[in-house]
Amino acid sequence: MAARPAPVLIFGAVFAAAVVLTALGYLSLRRWEAAAELQLREQARDTATMAAEKVEMTVVRAEQDGLAALQAAALEPDFGSSSVEAWKALHPLFASVYVCDRRGRVLYPVRWSPEDAELIDALRAEISEKLWVRGGRRYLEAGEHVLLAAVIPASSRGPLLVGLLRDEQTLTREVLPRVLGGDGKSALAILDGRGQTVFASEPLGAAAPVLTVPFREALPAWRVALYQPAGLSPRDMVRRQAMIFMAAFALLLVVIAAGLVATYRLVRRESEIARLKSDFVANVSHDLKTPLSLIRMFAETLEMDRVPDPARRREYYAVLTRESERLSRLIDNVLDFSRIESGRQRYDITVGSVEPIIHEVLESFRHPLDQQGFTLDVSIAPDLPDLAMDGDAIKQALANLLDNAMKYSAERRHVTVAARREGDGVVVEVADRGIGIPVAERERIFEKFYRIGRSETQGRRGSGVGLALVKHIVEAHGGRVTVEGEPGGGSRFSVFLPSAAPQRQRVG
């Protein structure tokens, strides 16, 4: 447990950092959202204001030009209604024109309607003495209309008061389209005093109004409105950016989390392997020591001639043989395992029958099986096909299975070895009635160094490489090894070896 806090602390720190990062990210995103929306609105306001100025400038310039032309005509000696008519024909921007002299006489039009009369009255009432004296121009609001009033010098009669009424249709049809064009993203519209759209730079469709700005004195009741298509308003754009940012951020967090999980697993796996390795070393040393001390003890006893009984002596020799066989099996296992680990293991493949190999292995186990009170059932089908195999390797695999069957049996000491044809290969089974293997462990027992929970295997020493070796050998022959059985109900290992076998090969 002492080594655990370190990774936990690191993961905790990374997790806390991710949480803080998320919180900060969220806060600054909120702040950025507000600022960005404001900025986009400002930009929209600038666009609309610039458009309003442009429109107003164009209108004022057109009016000035018209007024200058009228003034030029007024300076002609024969100035009269017909000159005004001629001027009007050339200046369609003006719907009506009124001309009065200093005494208030209306020189033009010759006949007027009640509506004209109202405008003329407004014109005469609003003009101050100062304007008469100094000349100049100003806008007058008369009801819904805006009149451009100007005092212009004339040839004979002294200054004249001119009132010009704009033709709104000419303005919206001819002047505004020249001046206003959208910027592609947004549309501009001109609204009149009642809020009706009198002109739009492009079809408004589903576009939403963002803001309006007023004109100055030339178009006092009108406003410029800026429209943006649905989804392109400052708020929508900021929202979209924020969504993208948040998605990227979420992805980042997922990647961090996945990295954490992967690292955690790796660290756990590494420390598990380290633990298994140290168990392995302890177990191998112990397994080497036990037969060695037995061999030494019996050899010394024999050497000192302390065993006069020949039967007893034979028994001692048998112990020496058995223990040295056990020792060499263990050493073979460890050496082969290390060759496999370093990729140096080679198999010498020859074609032959598997039956003699099974008998040879059983022969070497006959004595230990007898001695430990095992009964053995052997059934080998007569029709086994020849296999392409490395006989020694197959022997080693079967010996490991038999060794396990003995090692992991309790009271019920019975081992079955069977071989039969299956498909185009052979299945060799080694079954016991021992402690069995939990379903969840069936895969893991074939991993190197893996041994089922220490308590279960307590008293049963082993290095944990036997089954890893079996699996490697069997798979190198193109076969597979599986296990069945329940805890307490014994285990049955089945090795399938195909008859069409690989050539001499090098397997790593």
Site for ligand ATP in 121-180 (CB under 6 A): none
Segment contacting ligand ATP by CB under 6 A, of 42-50, 149-157, 176-184, 456-464: 456-464
Q: Binding of Mg ion at residue 404 (CB under 5 A)?
A: yes
Distance CA 506, CA 240 (A): 59
Q: Tell me whether residue 462 or residue 479 sits nearer to Mg ion (CB atom).
A: 462
Cβ atoms < 10 Å from Cβ of 476: 21
Q: Which among ligand ATP, Mg ion, none contacts residue 464 (Cβ within 5 to 8 A by kind)? A: ligand ATP
Q: Which among Mg ion, ligand ATP, none contacts residue 228 (Cβ within 5 to 8 A by kind)? A: none
Beta strands 145-152 and 136-142, pairing class? antiparallel
Q: Binding of Mg ion at residue 466 (CB under 5 A)?
A: yes
- For the residues of 188-250, what is the DSSP string, one character each? EEEE-TTS-EEEESS--TT-EEEEEEE--TTSTT-EEEEEE-TT-SHHHHHHHHHHHHHHHHH
Q: Single out the residue of 44, 419, 437, 481 in contact with ligand ATP (rule: CB under 6 A).
A: 437
Smallest gap from Cβ 358 to ligand ATP, in A, equals 17
For the record, the structure tokens of 371 come out as 């001695």
Q: Tell me whether residue 287 or residue 323 sits nearer to Mg ion (CB atom).
A: 287
Q: Binding of ligand ATP at residue 462 (CB under 6 A)?
A: yes
Smallest gap from Cβ 347 to ligand ATP, in A, equals 20
Q: Are 209 and 227 in contact (CB under 8 A)?
A: yes
Site for ligand ATP in 295-354 (CB under 6 A): 333
Q: Binding of ligand ATP at residue 491 (CB under 6 A)?
A: yes
For the record, the structure tokens of 181 come out as 């064009």
* DSSP conformation class of 385: P
Distance CA 419, CA 10 (A): 54
Cβ atoms < 10 Å from Cβ of 221: 14
For the record, the structure tokens of 142 come out as 């008369």
Q: Binding of ligand ATP at residue 494 (CB under 6 A)?
A: no
Q: Binding of ligand ATP at residue 234 (CB under 6 A)?
A: no
- Write the CA distances from 214 to 52, 168, 490, integer angstroms: 7, 17, 94
Segment contacting Mg ion by CB under 5 A, of 111-119, 305-313, 338-346, 454-462: 454-462
Q: Are 115 and 147 in contact (CB under 8 A)?
A: no
Q: Tell me whether residue 491 or residue 499 sits nearer to ligand ATP (CB atom).
A: 491
Q: Binding of ligand ATP at residue 63 (CB under 6 A)?
A: no
Cβ atoms < 10 Å from Cβ of 267: 14
Q: Binding of ligand ATP at residue 402 (CB under 6 A)?
A: no
Q: Single out the residue of 417, 445, 495, 497 in contact with ligand ATP (rule: CB under 6 A).
A: 445
Distance CA 500, CA 385 (A): 10
Q: Which among ligand ATP, Mg ion, none contacts residue 465 (Cβ within 5 to 8 A by kind)? A: ligand ATP
Distance CA 222, CA 206 (A): 22
Q: Single out the residue of 190, 210, 358, 435 in contact with ligand ATP (rule: CB under 6 A).
A: 435
Q: Binding of ligand ATP at residue 466 (CB under 6 A)?
A: yes
Q: Binding of ligand ATP at residue 396 (CB under 6 A)?
A: no
Q: Binding of ligand ATP at residue 467 (CB under 6 A)?
A: yes
Q: Binding of ligand ATP at residue 365 (CB under 6 A)?
A: no
Segment contacting Mg ion by CB under 5 A, of 43-51, 214-222, 396-404, 418-426: 396-404
Q: Single out the residue of 404, 419, 476, 494 in contact with ligand ATP (rule: CB under 6 A).
A: 404
Q: Is 106 helix (H, G, I), strand (E, B) or coil?
A: strand
Smallest gap from Cβ 405 to ligand ATP, in A, equals 5
Smallest gap from Cβ 445 to ligand ATP, in A, equals 4
Q: Tell me whether residue 149 or residue 397 sits nearer to ligand ATP (CB atom).
A: 397
Segment contacting ligand ATP by CB under 6 A, of 58-66, 197-205, 308-316, 461-469: 461-469
Q: Which among Mg ion, ligand ATP, none contacts residue 347 (Cβ within 5 to 8 A by kind)? A: none
Q: Which residues contact 488 (CB under 8 A, 6 or more apart)?
A: 435, 436
Which strands sit side by side in the sheet containing 160-166, from one edge to the other? 106-108, 94-101, 160-166, 145-152, 136-142
Distance between first and last Cα of the chain: 36
Number of residues that bind Mg ion (CB under 5 A): 3
Q: Binding of ligand ATP at residue 464 (CB under 6 A)?
A: yes
Q: Are 239 and 247 in contact (CB under 8 A)?
A: no
Q: Tell me whether residue 191 or residue 476 sits nearer to ligand ATP (CB atom).
A: 476
Of 238, 176, 205, 200, the residue nearest 41 (C-alpha): 238
Segment contacting ligand ATP by CB under 6 A, of 94-102, 315-323, 444-452, 473-481: 444-452
- Provide the H-helix boundaries in 348-389: 355-371
Q: Tell me whether residue 186 or residue 396 sits nearer to ligand ATP (CB atom).
A: 396
Q: Single out the residue of 232, 235, 457, 489 in contact with ligand ATP (rule: CB under 6 A).
A: 457
- For the residues of 429-486, what is the DSSP string, one character each? EEEE-SS---GGGTTGGGSTT--S-TTTTTT----S-HHHHHHHHHHHTT-EEEEEE-
Number of residues that bind ligand ATP (CB under 6 A): 24
Binding site for ligand ATP (CB under 6 A): 333, 400, 404-405, 407-408, 432, 434-437, 445, 450-452, 457, 462-468, 491
Binding site for Mg ion (CB under 5 A): 404, 462, 466
